[in-house]
């Protein structure tokens, strides 16, 4: 779904959660934040999204201060507003409160017009045994691919 230059990816999201639905949202940023993001100085580790006062917010997303930003720099981990349609926000609010799902940022990217966008997933947390099953399946798929690759070279 992400089209454009990917700035940051939340690698732990797909490891720790089952992804059910993905939404694209704009991010409200200051000038120094977008400059820092364009340099790739953004981190999504431990970040999450939540509906607060009928507005979607992302928490713990770290954008490093811009070097030439001096007094215009803001707190690197401040909550940032996400731009979604009202009916999407209502749907996500219902999913998180009634079904016990979580909103997890998957990645941040610049679209073709240079606007910062974020992919947010409605996700269900994995248990430890689910994580082990996923790792075992990936390992088995990797072994099969290596065997197939080896078989092709023998012909």
The whole domain housing 108 covers: 5-126
What pLDDT is attached to residue 1? 60
Task: Please give the mean pLDDT across all residues of the chain.
Answer: 84
Q: Is residue 133 part of a domain?
A: no
Q: Within 13 A of 132's CA, how many CA atoms are on the CB side?
A: 3
CA dist list (Å): 92 to 33, 53, 80, 142, 148: 26, 13, 17, 35, 43
Exposed/middle/buried for residue 27 (C-beta within 10 Å: 0-12, 13-18, 19+): buried
* 131 within domain boundaries: no
What pLDDT, on a 0 to 100 scale, did the predictor assign at position 85? 93
Decide if 152 is inside a domain: no
For the chain, how many structural domains are there in total?
Answer: 1
Which tops the pLDDT comparison, 122 or 130? 122
CATH for 40: 2.40.280.10
Largest CA distance in the chain: 66
Residue 138 lies in a domain: no
Position 73 pLDDT exceeds 80: no
Residue 146 located in a structural domain = no
**Is residue 84, in this structure, part of any structural domain at all?**
yes
Q: pLDDT digit string (tens) for 33-70?
A: 888 888 888 888 888 888 889 889 999 988 888 777 77
Is residue 122 within 8 Å of residue 21, measured between CB atoms? yes
20 occurs within a structural domain: yes
Per DSSP, the three-state class of 146 is helix
pLDDT band at 86 (very low <50, low <70, confident <90, very high): very high
**In a domain? residue 39:** yes
């Amino acid at each position: 779904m992400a089209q454009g230059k990917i700035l940051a990816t939340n690698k732990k999201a797909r490891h720790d959660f089952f992804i059910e639905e993905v939404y694209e949202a704009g991010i409200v940023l200051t000038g120094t934040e977008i400059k820092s993001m364009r340099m790739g100085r953004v981190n999504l580790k431990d970040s999450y999204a939540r509906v607060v006062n009928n507005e979607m917010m992302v928490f713990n997303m770290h954008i490093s201060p811009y070097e030439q930003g001096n007094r215009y720099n803001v707190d690197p981990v401040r909550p940032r507003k996400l731009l979604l349609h009202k009916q999407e926000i209502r749907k996500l609010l219902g999913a998180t409160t009634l079904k016990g799902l979580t909103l997890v940022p998957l990645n941040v990217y610049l679209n073709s017009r240079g606007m910062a966008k974020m992919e947010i997933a409605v996700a269900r947390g994995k248990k430890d045994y689910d994580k082990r099953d996923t790792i075992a399946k990936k390992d088995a798929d990797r072994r099969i691919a290596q065997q197939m690759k080896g078989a092709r070279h023998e012909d």
